[in-house]
Structure 1
């Protein structure tokens, strides 16, 4: 009876989590469809040709109920809202390539299969599962040895999936390396003080590199409607997609 009750409770929690999750977006790409599934805060899942890419997975296994196991895990930084060792331990990583900066590799659970690690420093490039990956710097301005995010420790990433260039900012300021990006189709851009940028600064950065589509994410406590207004006042052609990354807050 206790086993049944526990199973029932777990099922109800999983169903609640699934119901709270934002609806996925679907993009046409070469060779198939790219699915974009927001999860929470800085966590998302990209799916293409049967492959699932988990970005900064947090929230435990329940956060990914109904989604396929990861074929690739991409981690940006050591902070707990991007790197959660318990979640990595909980999800099925049996077949997952894990792409990380060195600082994250140093903190992975002892159970992690180190043969599956791909360690990148800023500027490095690799191809995994037919997906081109470039590590982009992410850091605070002004630069400081005591900043929350120092240059070289973490990675943002540009992924090329089905001909789409996808930028994942990680925790960054409006840095030159972001402003100088070219031909970005889809961008996930952070904004929350005091850790990254404010809304106005994030909008200025986006207007500098002009992605076709931008998702504000990692925005707890920020006015994303203002972000959308500022971006579209500067360029009405940028598709600013507001999604609910904090459903539990309602």
Structure 2
């Protein structure tokens, strides 16, 4: 006697045993709570991600700065309208993270050195800004600020002219993103900065004392120490706050945990 109706059932059972077990999606790493700052138009939301990465949201626009650390770190956040990349190093130009994010409709604002390393799939989205140049787009203004090591030599980790710090004007608020820099003349000469994100990690950028001196020169209303993981671990950002506020208590230093997954 033949049982042709049994074959599909047997094959289905076999396939079920052979099918690979489904794995749960990778959980998003922990993320600190966002801050909100008032502007003349809409609140500015500041969402720390990790290291030198931050997401800014304002007036219906979302800005990713140096997206790094894996796409899961951005889970639940709006897709970017603008992406700012400061430098070619992999903690700023992170192609693996970029490829996992919904960036198809984002404008990528980058220095030329970054544009030269971006895959062809992004080329139509790129706007190159050189040090000192400015762009008005999507209701916001972006200015490229030099970022570099001192002394400014061609063989420095961050030579002058290769990377960009940025100043964004969002609803009348000026937001400075230092990128990888030391307390250069250009940083010290900044004016009317409401919010600053300032790096401090040896040997790549500067120590907390140099960072404090730079901040005291341009006197932002609020400063976030970020990008503070160096060769010997995390910089002493509490000491940075002490140095700044002892000299100028009108500068608010906001300490946030930019490395929650490691602490």
How high is the TM-score relative to the length of structure 2?
Answer: 0.90
Q: Specify which of 211, 236, 239 is matched with residue 223 of structure 1.
A: 236
**Structure 1 residues 11-36: Cα deviation after superposition (integer angstroms, max 9, x where no partner):** x513xx2xx10100001112111100
Return the offset for 1:5: 2.8
Determine whether 1:52 maps to 2:62: yes
Contact 1:173/1:196 (8 A) holds in 2: yes
Partner residue in 2 for 1:93: 103
Partner residue in 1 for 2:204: 195
CA distance in 1, matches of 2:235, 2:71: 27
Contact 1:76/1:154 (8 A) holds in 2: yes
CA distance in 1, matches of 2:206, 2:70: 27
| Helix, strand or coil at the partner of 1:149 | coil
CA distance in 2, matches of 1:38, 1:64: 10
Q: Specify which of 74, 92, 104 is matched with residue 64 of structure 1.
A: 74
Q: Specify which of 13, 21, 43 is matched with residue 27 of structure 2.
A: 13
| Helix, strand or coil at the partner of 1:126 | strand
- Unaligned 5+ segments in structure 1 are none
Partner residue in 1 for 2:136: 127
Change (3 A) 1:232 1:69: same
Change (3 A) 1:65 1:146: same
**Structure 1 residues 176-220: Cα deviation after superposition (integer angstroms, max 9, x where no partner):** 000000000000000000000000000000000000000000001
- Report runs of 4+ in structure 1 exceeding 3 Å deviation: 1-4
Return the offset for 1:56: 0.1
- Unaligned 5+ segments in structure 2 are 1-15
CA distance in 2, matches of 1:230, 1:4: 54
Partner residue in 1 for 2:249: 236
CA distance in 2, matches of 1:98, 1:248: 28
Contact 1:37/1:45 (8 A) holds in 2: yes
Return the offset for 1:111: 1.8
Contact 1:135/1:155 (8 A) holds in 2: yes
CA distance in 2, matches of 1:60, 1:225: 28
Question: Is the radius of gyration larger for structure 1 or structure 2?
Answer: 2
**Structure 1 residues 158-188: Cα deviation after superposition (integer angstroms, max 9, x where no partner):** 0001110000000001100000000000000
| Helix, strand or coil at the partner of 2:62 | strand
Return the offset for 1:3: 7.5
Return the offset for 1:115: 2.3
CA distance in 2, matches of 1:3, 1:188: 46
Return the offset for 1:230: 0.1
How high is the TM-score relative to the length of structure 1?
Answer: 0.94
Contact 1:89/1:109 (8 A) holds in 2: no
CA distance in 1, matches of 2:259, 2:138: 31
| Helix, strand or coil at the partner of 2:187 | helix
